[in-house]
Structure 1
Amino acid sequence: MPTSIPGLRSAFKGGRALTFDSPNEIPHFDHGAVYIVDGIYDNDENKEPLTYQKAARQKILHQKLPLEKYLAFHSTSTRALAFHEVYNILLTLKHINNNLVFCL
């Protein structure tokens, strides 16, 4: 998050970075939170969790959707979702009162 833009950090106060690398699962949709959706995917051999590391460095709460709890993945499947998929899940959670089973 750039620090050169005045007020940007305060705009994200209480923000939550959603990144599949986070060890913390989102327990429910918080209607008062600002969700920062992870849009960076490191495609090199190192597979460094860039968004997770940046959120941790800047002390931004980081969470992930509890996909493994509700979905069965093949051993070679990625847990990373496309931006529009995360957006649609968040939008559905907002409108159906936090029913993760229905969303996923």
Structure 2
Amino acid sequence: MFGSLGIPELIMIFIVALIVFGPKRLPEIGKTLGKAMGEFKKATDDFKNTIEREVQVEELKQLASTTIVPVHESISRSAPVEPTATGLPTEPPKQVADLTPEAVTKHDL
């Protein structure tokens, strides 16, 4: 966390801080410094998590384009679907075309 600082260096920094700030302000400064370090760590963790999520999204997009789309195309090519109807009828059926209005009677319901 402190890089190349060892125990002797940390003790020396503590003694200098004690002399400069005094014993009454040192706990207050330590508390403030601790909060600042905690907030900094939280911010760096949030940033790291955001970057990792974005990388995962890009990996999923790449996986989808390299795996799922070719499989879908392969399935589409292997099993073509024939249309059941070619379009709308252009002529009425022969049985209906031959009927005249007089031939049609009402049925009592």
Using structure 1 for the length normalisation, give the TM-score.
0.22
Q: Which has the higher strand share?
A: 1
Larger Rg computed on CA atoms: 2
